[in-house]
Structure 1
Amino acid sequence: MKITLTGAPETMLATLYGRAQDATSPNSVLHDHYAAEAVARIDYDFSKTKIKGTQAIGVALRARQLDDWTSEFLTAHREATVLHLACGLDTRVFRINPSETVRWVDVDYPDVIALRRALLPCREGDYRMIGSSVSEATWLDSIPADRPTLAVFEGLTMYLTEAEGQSLIRRITGRFPSGQLAFDCYGSIGIKLQKLVPAVRNAGATLHWGIDDPGQIEALHPGLRCVSDLRSTDVAGEEYLPLSGRIQMKVISHLPALRDIGRIMRFSF
């Protein structure tokens, strides 16, 4: 299948490729065989993503952290809604495999949703896909506000402008009575260094929004409270990394200019 995506949507292929490499590893983190199957069917030069080795493991560990938070939320709330924003070709719904009492909604651009339908299996239960930019206001109106709601978004915030990101978070927290936000983000230094990221540079994408402190998010709604704030170097799973990767993470964790490039945050509201 030929892929014609450009810009921010194209970058989802880098994380897909990372998860696919992890799936074929004898020491796999995610065991995401759907990712490997999708990569095998896509006509695309994945080598230009430069995702390999430690980077691929890092992609898988970040995804697993967000998976774990999603599972925790669904354990605490048997009847809940999950909004998986900018879902791309991420198979989180299959990895989590939520019960029939969970309403799960995958949201991304219409052409990305078309790819999901073509490349990934059908999903049973209370599941649907919405083809829309997450920045559009109308799609959220179709989601009932009758349950605790988790909004999980990976590889999204940095591609939004600050105004778009703030508006999205305000709309979610304003519509649903309670829930959580779980997402990864770049700090402002990461935004400044974006041209050093091959997957971003080669796709012609641009990063905009840097988040340096959880307080920036808490200020968007009176009920928002940060419950987890992890630097990328603090994400569990060091044992999966090769020795060179462990050394790299250790060095980065001691360099203030680099250790805050990426974070994973979780907020309750």
Structure 2
Amino acid sequence: MTQTRKVDFSGVRWGSVEWTNLGTLYLRACESRSPNPILGDDAAAEAVDRIDYDWARMRRYMLPPANQWLVALRAARLDDWSAAFLGRHPDAVVLHLGCGMDTRAFRLRLPRHVQWFDVDQPNVIELRRKLYADRDGYRMLGSSVTEASWLDETPTDRPTLIVAEGLLMYLPQSEVRTLLQRLTDRFTTGELLFDTLSPMGPRLSKVFSKGIVKWGTSDARELERWNPRLRFLEQNSALAGYERINSTPIRLLYRLIHATPARNYDVLNRFEF
């Protein structure tokens, strides 16, 4: 049996953005190996198997038994919305903003003519390129999403799906507004999928994470006031679907949280333009 050569990620600094991306990848891989997974991200599991890293230490910090489910629930809802859009528009352009190490482009069944762009900071894309390569219908773009120049690489003659998971809350509100305006100015029609934190997010971040969360909102529908081209379609708590968790203690914990206002701390949003 031929053994797959490991890809060395030992240079990823503990606590860095790249490390956080690896942690999320690891949680999705753990969830994929659970009985009756919600997301079932086999591509993440395959990536983790290929990466040479201190996963034991990662496991002690990330606590997969508790945290893998939130990651899976959020990703699964965005996957469902993405798949529905691509089913209606099999020639779409997809912009996956702040993609990190996410494997959405590989775990979804993409129609043949979809053009997919994974976009993130150059150092993150450099890390991705250790595992993946550009190919027909799939490209990685190394740039801050708040820069304008990377958009010149994307076509504008097709319906466009924009996915921003775990991204917008890390930008100041002014940059969120500018980014969304720039996107809707460039593309004629499509959908925008993203998650938001409540206003408590930035406050808690100042106490626990050096203020890295910059923006929170009590109602993402305020985006319609910022940008007349954006039209609200639907939203869900990131905890929605907790009934599918196969761990009884964790399912009961999520059920308890979902019964309180805390269910709206992290909300998934779907808009059209």
TM over 0.5: yes
Residue 33 of structure 1 pairs with residue 42 of structure 2 = yes
> Which residue identity does 1:255 align to in structure 2?
T
1:130 to 128, 136, 141: 141
Question: Aligned equivalents of 1:46 and 1:58: distance in 2?
Answer: 17
Report if the CA contact (8 A) 1:194-1:207 is conserved: yes
Report if the CA contact (8 A) 2:43-2:107 is conserved: no
Residue 230 of structure 1 pairs with residue 245 of structure 2 = no
Q: In the superposition, relative to structure 1, how do residues 42 and 183 fare at CA in structure 2: closer, same or farther (>3 Å)?
A: farther
* 3-state SS of 2:130 partner: helix
TM-score by length of 1: 0.89
Question: Aligned equivalents of 2:227 and 2:246: distance in 1?
Answer: 38
Report if the CA contact (8 A) 1:191-1:207 is conserved: yes
* 3-state SS of 2:118 partner: strand
Q: In the superposition, relative to structure 1, how do residues 31 and 246 fare at CA in structure 2: closer, same or farther (>3 Å)?
A: closer
State the match for 1:262 in structure 2: 266
> Which residue identity does 1:37 align to in structure 2?
E
When the two structures are aligned, how many residues end up with a matched partner? Answer: 261
Report if the CA contact (8 A) 1:8-1:205 is conserved: no
Aligned-residue sequence identity (percent) comes to 41
* 3-state SS of 1:119 partner: coil
State the match for 1:173 in structure 2: 184
TM-score by length of 2: 0.88
Report if the CA contact (8 A) 1:8-1:206 is conserved: no
2:256 to 231, 247, 251: 251
RMSD across aligned positions (CA): 2.1
Residue 13 of structure 1 pairs with residue 25 of structure 2 = no
CA shift digits 1:20-50 (9 cap, x unpaired): 1112212222332332233341424313642
* 3-state SS of 1:118 partner: coil
Residue 206 of structure 1 pairs with residue 212 of structure 2 = yes
- Displacement of 1:205: 7.0
Residue 92 of structure 1 pairs with residue 104 of structure 2 = yes
State the match for 2:84 in structure 1: 72
State the match for 1:109 in structure 2: 121
Question: Aligned equivalents of 2:123 and 2:265: distance in 1?
Answer: 30
Report if the CA contact (8 A) 1:106-1:130 is conserved: yes
Question: Aligned equivalents of 2:29 and 2:175: distance in 1?
Answer: 31
> Which residue identity does 2:82 align to in structure 1?
T
1:4 to 10, 13, 26: 13
For structure 1, which runs of at least 5 residues remain unmatched after alignment? none
> Which residue identity does 2:271 align to in structure 1?
F
Report if the CA contact (8 A) 2:164-2:194 is conserved: yes
- Structure-to-structure mapping, 1:122-201, within 5 angstroms: 122=133, 124-194=135-205, 201=209
Q: In the superposition, relative to structure 1, how do residues 18 and 242 fare at CA in structure 2: closer, same or farther (>3 Å)?
A: same
* 3-state SS of 2:129 partner: helix
Q: In the superposition, relative to structure 1, how do residues 218 and 155 fare at CA in structure 2: closer, same or farther (>3 Å)?
A: same
Report if the CA contact (8 A) 1:169-1:220 is conserved: no
Report if the CA contact (8 A) 2:242-2:251 is conserved: no
- Displacement of 1:100: 2.2
Structure 1 window deviating more from structure 2 (184-193 vs 100-109): it is 184-193
Residue 239 of structure 1 pairs with residue 251 of structure 2 = no
Question: Aligned equivalents of 2:249 and 2:202: distance in 1?
Answer: 25
Report if the CA contact (8 A) 1:8-1:159 is conserved: no
State the match for 2:5 in structure 1: none
- Displacement of 1:142: 2.1
CA shift digits 1:125-180 (9 cap, x unpaired): 31111000111111112212111101001110111111111111111111101111
State the match for 2:223 in structure 1: 217
- Displacement of 1:94: 0.6
